[in-house]
Amino acid sequence: MADYEVIAQETLTSTAASIDITSIPATYAHLELVISARSTKAAATTSGGEITLNGLTSSIYQSAALYSINSSTPAVYSYNVDARTQVDNPFRIMNDSMPANTYAAAKIVIPNYANTSVVRKGLLVQSSAASDQTSTWWHSVGGAHVTLSAAINQITLFAESATYPFKAGTSYYLAGWS
């Protein structure tokens, strides 16, 4: 069995528009990021977060997801086949008018993140946000890729907007394994 080690972890003690995980060592074969997120947005819905890698905001990202949202649209396929400046909506964020102390959960796996001969790095994403309200939920599985041959040494997670930052209590951990 491969060694699995937590590289970074944090629980926010105040609001933050973004979470920046830096100095990721290139000593593992794969990365796994798990986030539990809530925002300050006063809405009984979920919102999408964004991701950039290595601080790059050029048009090098693409993504696709299969998701179900609320009872009105049981299955929808969403994709961003054009080049984007970030991975759009790969994980959900629970908004603040949802039941107290509920957080959306997501897991993002990045295989071969340190391999410099891999020129298109892939991300596998699972995300879920649900409350006790039967009309407000989100479940998805998707993927993204970035045209990048350099090893990934930084992951930045963004809330929906700086106006609606991540709420205190949002937490994450980043792990690596060989």
**Is pLDDT larger for residue 86 or for residue 89?**
86
pLDDT tens profile 119-167: 999 999 998 887 666 566 778 888 898 999 999 999 999 998 899 999 9
Under a CB-based contact definition with an 8 Å cutoff, are residues 28 and 176 in contact?
yes
pLDDT of residue 77: 57
pLDDT above 80: residue 67: no
DSSP strand E in 4-160: where? Answer: 4-11, 18-21, 30-37, 46-53, 61-69, 73-84, 87-94, 104-111, 120-130, 137-147, 155-158
pLDDT of residue 6: 97
Under a CB-based contact definition with an 8 Å cutoff, are residues 14 and 167 in contact?
no
Mean per-residue pLDDT, 8-23: 97
Give the CA distances from residue 64 to residues 69, 80, 158, 164, in Å, rounded to whole numbers and listed in that order: 15, 6, 18, 24
User: How far apart are alpha carbons 66 and 127 in whole angstroms?
Assistant: 11
pLDDT band at 1 (very low <50, low <70, confident <90, very high): very low
pTM of the model: 0.91
Give the CA distances from residue 94 to residues 19, 87, 91, 102, 143, in Å, rounded to whole numbers and listed in that order: 16, 18, 10, 7, 21
